Chains A and B, each alone.
Chain A
Amino acid sequence: MSTDQLAELSRLLYFPTTLMLYLGAAVAYLYALTTTVGRQDERDRGNLARRLGGVLAVAGITAHVAHEIARGLAQDRLPLGNMFEVTSLMALVGVVTGLVYLQFIRNRPELNGFVLVTGSLVLGMAMLMYAEPGPLMPILDTWWRPFHVSLLVGAMGIFAAAFVFNGLYLLRDTAEAAVATQRSQPGRGSTVGAAYIGDVADARTGPDGGPEDDEERERADLLAYHRALRAGIPKVKLAVGTFVGTGLVSWVWLTTADTLAAGLTRFLTVNLVMVAAALLARWFVPFLPSTATMDGLAHRLTAFAFVLWTVGTIAGAMWAEVSWGRFWGWDPKETGAFLTWITYAGYLHARATRGVKGRGAAWIGIAAFIVLMGTYLIANYVVVGLHSYADL
């Protein structure tokens, strides 16, 4: 195959193949998640969907790996040379790590859907930075590069997964707190259990039903509880908050695109996709595992990625000492790496600080990811530094 054909193949494997497979797998997994509390026939369909999701996810990962290989062959080097390649690999690492971790280590395959949604989002973001395959600058042609870059990219992918669980934790925690407040309010009937939240459902089913009615009633109560959980998260506040939070990063496209219209399109696309993802997550709140599980997942992923980030940054400093004759010069990229490191160190410390752990720590985790993505984009697009020539 010629280089051009390989390049074309790698492009097709990336879009639409990988993206569509990831999205399909995500939809299947998320559907399966909604059936875990349903009737038997629904649960059967859910199991089927989960298997389908698994097949699609494996196919998506295969296509993604094939894309990386084809791209590597097309340009005869490791695909770690520019922002598109790094972001794409960040998605791959995030998806593979997240799925393997959830499926085999934590035994929580029902959460796979969220990892796949994140992977699709990162994959889509990489397309905003698409670059044709090409050779590498001589200064980057050293074993330092794969070492330094892949550690940091791996860390970024895992940080992204941790970000998702921090977000889901906050959503679930908010919803649960709202339901608890509602229940403890005087005049709201019994506080025994979730069953009595749905007053309407109670009124519809009679007081003396058979066993089938009981089942129906339980189901109605459950659905009412789900609705109460969702209602606990103000929709508008979530949407606006997500828009503003994403805007803290995505403004970069406003300032750097060729035309204002193009910049605005990218800015709005990214923001609205994130808002849609947040609202989708809000709908899925009732099906999420306990807050402790998600808090723990976020912490463990962050801790692991933090180690990778530390080693990757040290490797970068060592490379800089060899290549540029100084190990640290507060270059924009170095500042960004330092800032990200500081913020995630703050997260890890916050988890051990009374009064901050829990929600406070999760918010610091969210802020840290904003810092990570913000410095990643700013140091590449806005400020010129020593790393800029690498387009990385």
Chain B
Amino acid sequence: MTESSPPPRMNPPVRTGPSRPSGPAGFVRDSALMGWRWLARMRTALYLLGALAVLSIIATAIPQEPNVPSTVAAWRAGESGPGTTASAVLDAIGAYDVYGSAIFLAVLLALYISLTGCLIPRIRAWIRLVRTSKPPIARHLGANDERQVLATSASVDEVHDTAARLLSEQRWRVRRHAGGPDDPRPAQVAAEKGLWTREGGSLIFHLSFYVLLGAIVFGQLATFEGQRGLVEGDPGFRDTAVSYWSYSPGRWFGEEEHDGWRLELDEFHVDWIRDPLAPGAGQPTVFRSDVTVTPPDGEPFAAVIDSNRPLNLDGTRITQLDWGYAPRVVVEVDGQVVHDAFLTPTLVDGGFYRGAVKAPAAEPDVGLDLFLYPFAPDDEDGRPIPTGAPWAEAPLLVLEQFRGDLQLGATQQTVNELDTGALDPEGFAALRPGQTIEVEGVTISFPELRQWVGLQVSSRPQVPFLLLAAVLLTGGLIASLYAYRRRVWVLAVEEGSEGRTLVTVAGRAFQRPEVFEEELADLAEALVGALEPGSPDRTRTGPAGPDHEPEGRAPDPDRTPSARGGA
């Protein structure tokens, strides 16, 4: 073959693009463009993923304030951790709240911009692909293609009809080509699959992150979360904004959206494996609340809240978060009751509970620092021996009494903590349930011990959208990994005068080529089965090499330029 095209010119004319602004505007424009291009690069996305990973490592290694505020407080105070100086540095860079820090949000934003920059051209290309792409018609079969050759007695048209039907049934995109005497492309059936699905799956996977982001932002605005402790047999609480101990509504959550039901805790069940020698000793076995719910306009009904079965009231979810013992403590000063309430002491390391009684009604104030040991049986001498066991078989209330100024409202103190700064110690006492004791003119009684449960009430309208994001993410991921792009061509050619037809089933695998030979053999077999049901009279000669070229043309590897670029 002679070279027929003219040689390339030495200096082809330079095509100048549309004029671009110069000066400061041009600088800004070019910088923005450069930044955008940099962000849209895959390598940048990798760096950003790496940055996200590093931030997560920091968040794993350093205590996070939203999760463990007490540990963070200890680090800040220098009681544990690397010391106050290092702690100040950590605080300055936001390492105690990585996921709320500016750096994390900046990386996330950059990642989303990068994702957008990456996706826009891909989506446009994909739409173009879906709208315009057709399975390419083979001119020659390339030497790189897998092929199977078989012979049949069916006519050429019959073979092509059957192949087109078979491939359509197997969900290929099929294109028939009739050929013709002047057509260099022989009559054939061309088919393709996986082209849209694979890239489309990848796009859906990446787009699901926008759904996720949208759902999370929507959740921040529309969610509601409240916490409330409830003692057994309490009058309960109503679902209103003021009745929660901690209340965090989203910006869009209005107070009128509360349903107004009433919830009472009838009984709380908790138990453990008590045998210290049994496997799993000390593990809890039951963790369940029996409650009564009274809807605003209906009859009360009983319900159960279990560890994995929260109570669902019209989309509001009630979950058990916490529990503890609730001792009722009555304090009388000079015959006057100054305190009569159930306390909710908190669990302290070592298996006892600590709480406080604050009675500002007395003059001067009475404060009790309380320690509750659920299981403190008497020894032979009748002295209580505190143990770490959590079951309330022999509860013992140990208290230290204070008089003076409780400084309520003046200093920061929690419900279960006394500020003893302006209090004088008056003595210790120990009480069993039902006992009454007098310490320095103050009568303290411990009539009964109940249990309390910390409930979380939450309304999360974003959950369906999160689920949608999860479904899109998983589905897209699976499609993008497991939809293999393949092309096949079925070419039937009449051979000689014996009425025999030679059929070439050829194909190309763009992913996972190692299994394609088998797939193609299966396809050829299915084709034979469809052409000649039940007839064993067939000759299979595939897989064949280039010497089995049915058209008798030299194999041309540059057949379809688009077929080479594949993923």
Q: Name A's B-contacting residues (CB within 8 A).
A: 75, 106, 132-139, 141-142, 144, 296, 303-304, 306-307, 310-311, 314, 317-319, 321-327, 329-332, 335-336, 338-339, 342-343, 345-346, 349-350, 352-353, 355-356, 371, 375, 378-379, 383-385
B85 contacts across to A, CB distance below 8 A = none
- Which of A138, A142, A332, A356 has a CB less than 8 Å from the CB of B284? A138
Enumerate the 4 nearest inter-chain pairs by beta-carbon distance, A residue then B residue, closest first. A134-B280, A134-B279, A325-B319, A139-B307
Segment touching A, from B12-20, B56-64, B237-245: B56-64
Q: Which residues of A contact B52 (CB under 8 A)?
A: 342
Would B42 and A352 count as touching, CB distance under 8 A? yes
A141 touches B56 (CB 8 A): no
* A353:B42 contact, CB within 8 angstroms: yes
Cβ contact within 8 Å between B49 and A330? no
The residues of A that contact B64 with a CB separation of less than 8 Å are 330
Note all chain B residues with C-beta closer than 8 A to A385: 67
Separation in Å of the A145 CB from the closest CB of chain B? Answer: 9
A378:B50 contact, CB within 8 angstroms: no
> In the bound complex, what is the Cα–Cα distance between A275 and B505 (angstroms)?
51
Find out whether the CB atom of B53 lies under 8 angstroms from the CB atom of A325: no
Per the bound structure, the CA–CA distance linking A371 and B59 in Å amounts to 14
**Other A-B pairs, 17, CB within 8 Å; known A134-B280, A378-B61:** A134-B283, A136-B280, A141-B307, A306-B477, A311-B474, A325-B319, A332-B67, A339-B53, A339-B60, A343-B53, A345-B49, A349-B46, A350-B46, A353-B46, A356-B43, A356-B46, A371-B57
Known: A335-B59, A346-B50. A327 touches B466 (CB 8 A): yes
- Chain A residues near B60 (CB-CB < 8 A): 332, 335-336, 339, 375, 378-379, 383
Q: Which residue of B lies closest to A311 (CB)?
A: B474
List residues of chain A with CB within 8 A of the CB of B283.
134-137
Tell me, rounded to whole Å, the shortest Cβ–Cβ distance linking A17 to chain B: 22
Chain B residues with CB under 8 Å of chain A are 42-43, 45-46, 49-50, 52-53, 56-57, 59-61, 63-64, 66-68, 99, 225, 273, 278-280, 283-288, 306-310, 317, 319, 321, 456, 458, 460, 463, 466-467, 470, 473-474, 477-478, 481, 514, 567
Specify which chain B residues have a CB less than 8 angstroms from the CB of A371 in the assembled complex.
Answer: 53, 57
A252 to chain B, nearest CB (A): 12
Residue of A nearest to B56 (CB): A339
- The distance in angstroms between the C-alpha atoms of A137 and B285, with both chains bound, is 6
Q: In the complex, how many angstroms separate the beta carbon of A62 from the nearest chain B beta carbon?
A: 26
> A interface, by DSSP: helix, strand, loop or mixed?
helix
Contact B280 A135, beta carbon cutoff 8 Å:
yes
How far apart are B47's CB and chain A's nearest CB, in angstroms? Answer: 10
Q: Does B463 lie within 8 Å of A335, measured CB to CB?
A: no
Closest CB of chain A to B224's CB: distance in Å?
Answer: 12
* Partner among A329, A331, A338 whose Cβ is within 8 Å of the Cβ of B56: A338
Bound state CA distance, A134 and B278, in angstroms? 8
Chain B residue nearest to A338 in the complex (CB): B56
Q: Identify 17 residue pairs between A and B in the complex whose beta-carbon atoms are under 8 Å apart, listed by A's number.
A: A134-B278, A134-B279, A134-B280, A135-B273, A138-B287, A138-B288, A141-B307, A144-B308, A321-B463, A326-B225, A326-B458, A330-B59, A342-B53, A342-B56, A343-B53, A345-B49, A350-B46
A314 and B474 contact, CB distance less than 8 A = yes
List, in ascending order, chain A residues with CB within 8 A of B45's CB: 349
Query: Given the interface contacts A306-B477, A307-B478, A346-B50, does A142 sit within 8 Å of B308 by beta carbon?
Result: yes
Q: Of B49, B68, B319, which contacts A346 at CB under 8 A? A: B49
Number of interchain pairs (Cβ within 8 Å) = 129
- A265 to nearest B CB, angstroms? 25
Give the chain B neighbours of A342 by CB distance below 8 A: 49, 52-53, 56
Given contacts A139-B287, A330-B64, contact A324 B319 (CB under 8 A): yes
Residues of B within 8 A of A325 (CB): 225, 310, 317, 319, 321, 456, 458
A350 CA to B317 CA in the complex, in Å?
A: 42
Q: How far is the CB of A131 from chain B (nearest CB, A)?
A: 9
Select one of A296, A307, A322, A339 contacting B308, CB under 8 A. A322
Closest to A329 in B: B67
Query: In this complex, what residue of B is CB-closest to A348?
Result: B481
Closest to B51 in A: A342
Output the least CB separation between B496 and chain A (Å).
39
Contacts of A324 in B (CB 8 A): 319, 321
Contacts of B57 in A (CB 8 A): 339, 371
Would A384 and B68 be within 8 Å (CB), given that A314-B470, A321-B463 are in contact?
A: yes
- Separation of A336 and B63 alpha carbons in the complex (Å): 14
Q: Is the CB of A323 within 8 A of B56?
A: no
Q: Which residues of A contact B280 (CB under 8 A)?
A: 134-136
The closest CB in chain B to the CB of A371 belongs to B53
Cross-chain contact A346 with B287 (CB below 8 angstroms): no
Name the contact of A133 in the complex, choosing from B63, B279, B477 (C-beta under 8 A): B279
Closest to B481 in A: A303
Known: A336-B60, A350-B46. A323 touches B67 (CB 8 A): no
Residue of B nearest to A383 (CB): B60
Which residues of B are found within 8 Å of A319, using beta-carbon distances?
Answer: 308
CB distance from B381 to the nearest CB of A (A): 35
Query: Chain B: which residue is nearest A325 at the CB level?
Result: B319
* B307 CB contact (under 8 Å) in A135, A296, A318, A323: A323
Cβ–Cβ contact B481 & A307, under 8 A: yes
Residues of A within 8 A of B279 (CB): 75, 132-135
Q: How far is the CB of A335 from chain B (nearest CB, A)?
A: 5
Q: How far is the CA of A326 from the CA of B466 in the complex (A)?
A: 12
How far in angstroms is the closest Cβ of chain B from A296?
Answer: 8
Q: Please give, as numbers and ranges, the residues of chain A lying within 8 Å of B458 by CB-CB distance.
A: 325-326
The answer to whether A322 touches B310 (Cβ under 8 A) is: yes
Q: Could you tell me if A355 and B43 are in contact, using CB atoms closer than 8 angstroms?
A: yes
How far is the CB of B111 from the nearest CB of chain A, in Å? 10
How far apart are A332's CB and chain B's nearest CB, in angstroms? Answer: 6
Contacts of A338 in B (CB 8 A): 56
Determine the distance from Cα of A323 to Cα of B56 in the docked complex, in whole angstroms. Answer: 24
Tell me the complex Cα distance, A314–B473, Å.
10
Known contacts A135-B283, A327-B463, A371-B53: A346-B46 contact under CB 8 Å: yes
Which residues of the other chain, B, contact A144 by a CB distance below 8 angstroms?
A: 308
Complex: A324 Cα to B318 Cα, angstroms = 10
CB distance from A297 to the nearest CB of B (A): 11
In the assembled complex, the CB of A214 is this many whole angstroms from the nearest CB of chain B, namely 31
User: What's the nearest-Cβ distance from chain B to residue A88, in Å?
Assistant: 17
Q: Is the CB of B456 within 8 A of A135?
A: no
Docked complex Cα distance between A144 and B458 (Å): 21
Considering the chains assembled together, what is the distance between the CA atoms of A112 and B487 in angstroms? 34
Distance A338 CA – B458 CA, assembled complex (angstroms): 24
- How many angstroms between the C-alpha atoms of A324 and B56 in the bound complex? 22
| In the bound complex, CA of A37 to CA of B56 (Å) | 48
Residues of chain B within 8 A (CB-CB) of A346 are: 46, 49-50, 53
Of B56, B61, B99, B279, most buried by chain A (CB within 10 Å of CB) is B56
> With the chains together, A383 CA to B42 CA distance in Å?
34
**Cβ contact within 8 Å between A349 and B481:** no
Rounded to whole Å, the gap between the CB of A287 and the closest CB of chain B is 21
Give the distance to chain B from A67, nearest Cβ to Cβ, in Å: 17
Contact partners of A343 in chain B: CB under 8 A: 49, 53
